[in-house]
Amino acid sequence: MADGRADLALAHDGTGAPWVTVQSVAAIPLATALSSGYRVTRTVTPVQQQAKGAWRRGDVARVTLEVDAQSDMAWVVVDDPLPAGSTALGSGLGGDSRIATQGERRVGNVWPAFEERTATAFRAYYRYVPKGTFVVEYTVRLDNPGTFALPGTRVEAMYAPEMFGELPVASWTVAP
């Protein structure tokens, strides 16, 4: 609809006990953290930085994600965006720095079933996350200069998408 409004009509025929779930999703910028089962905090600290307090091309940063789960849940994914052209270290591919990733912490009673380090994001998939807090860290090398507006960090139970936590991520400026 042009004005964004529409009517929803539901009908049930038969003797069963019906139920309906209605979800509304909108592409609006995330201004504050959202929590519906998970709370997430994100901290970025320098590992190698050419100029203190300013990010430059070639600098290495450690991203710490602390997740507070409100209940036990199976198949949970932690999804954190990367600035365009940067590299999440630890994949073992050429140009990767095993030394730079030393000191990455994993805290809590969770262990990832799989970690994905793509050109756009770091993702960790967990078979089971118990109630409580866990920490995951990864290391990123900033390869391109620019100011990068990033989507939010998201933690979600894959088969219960109503259980999630989302955190806005500030833009990241990398000087040449």
Mean per-residue pLDDT of the chain: 89
Contact 124, 39 (CB under 8 A): no
- Asked whether the predicted pLDDT for residue 20 surpasses 90, the reply is no
CA distance linking residue 140 with residue 87, whole number of Å: 5
- Asked whether the predicted pLDDT for residue 173 surpasses 90, the reply is yes
Specify which of 13-22, 26-35, 124-133 reaches the highest per-range mean pLDDT: 124-133
Q: How far is CA 176 from CA 102, 142, 143, 147, 172, in A?
A: 26, 10, 9, 11, 13
Percent of the chain with pLDDT over 90: 66
- Asked whether the predicted pLDDT for residue 51 surpasses 80, the reply is yes
- Mean pLDDT over residues 128-154, rounded? 95
Mention every residue, 6+ apart, whose C-beta is less than 8 A from residue 2: none
CA distance linking residue 87 with residue 61, whole number of Å: 10
**By mean pLDDT, which of 48-57, 89-98, 137-146 is the weakest?**
89-98
Q: What is the pLDDT of residue 100?
A: 61
- Select from 44, 42, 103, 30 the least CA-distant residue to 68: 42
Contact 52, 175 (CB under 8 A): no
Q: Residue for token digits 């991203």? A: 63
Spell out the domains of the chain, with CATH numbers in brackets.
34-174 (2.60.40.690)
pTM metric for this prediction: 0.82
Q: What are phi and psi of 153, to 5 degrees?
A: -80, 140
pLDDT digits (tens, 9 = 90+) for 77-121: 999 999 998 988 876 665 665 666 677 777 788 999 999 999 899
Contact 142, 25 (CB under 8 A): no
DSSP string covering 78-90: EEEE--TT-EEE-
Contact 145, 174 (CB under 8 A): yes
Q: What is the pLDDT of residue 58?
A: 93
The amino acid sitting at 29 is P
Higher-confidence residue of 92 and 6: namely 6
